[in-house]
Amino acid sequence: MPELPRLTEATLPEGPFELFAAWLGDAEASGMTDPNAMTLATAGADGRPSARTLLLRGVGDDGFRFFTNRTSLKGRQLGENPRAQLLFFWGEIGRQILIHGSVDQLSDEESDAYFDSRARESQISAWASEQGSVIESRDALLARVKEAEQRFDGEDVPRPPHWGGYIVRPEAIEFWQAGEFRLHDRFVYRRSDGGQWVTERLSP
């Protein structure tokens, strides 16, 4: 693991997005596989938690974007309880980030734009797979793929109505950096009532 600069009150930027971008850049530069991979944790109305790994597909001052099948378990849970937590864990460089906030669906226009940028094979898969539902065999899945290929042969593949994007609007973002003897550095940015970011150091 590379030697890291200390994470201190004096080195923290005013807001969390600058630090997030720097840390994501460090993860990308490390050569690790899928540095934009994140764990998304959700819970439905029954309180049942679930988590899965997917890819960050955009970040801005308004939040963190991802795309998925909205009829999947995560889509159904977000429909019932539009809150989530994201976890980025970069063990190779001794860092992790936790993001907690509310979740909104992205507009059709933004979902269409991202879907149009995907490989055709991935677009076909979005039509063929009823994500998370029981299927009798892989052959049945491949038959659905073939049917979708034939349906859209020679034309652009449109975005399925059940597929689209979400944005996690952060209320708290925690940065964790490994230290010797488990004396890690942890800082959390929280939204104040006035919408400003305030920071606190947390015990490791």
Catalytic site residue from 95, 120, 182, 201: 182
Task: Provide the pLDDT confidence category of residue 1 given band limits of 50, 70 and 90.
Answer: low
d(CA 165, CA 105): 6
Backbone angles phi, psi at 119, to 5 degrees: -60, 145
Q: Alpha carbon 128 to chain centroid distance?
A: 23
Name the nearest CA neighbour of 129 among 105, 79, 163: 163
**Packed helices 120-128 and 138-151: angle between N→C axes, nearest 10 degrees:** 120
6 is catalytic: no
Q: What is the pLDDT of residues 45-99, one digit of tens each?
A: 999 999 999 999 999 999 999 999 999 999 999 999 999 999 999 999 999 999 9
Domains of the chain in start order, with CATH, are 9-119+161-202 (2.30.110.10)
Predicted TM-score (pTM) of this structure: 0.91
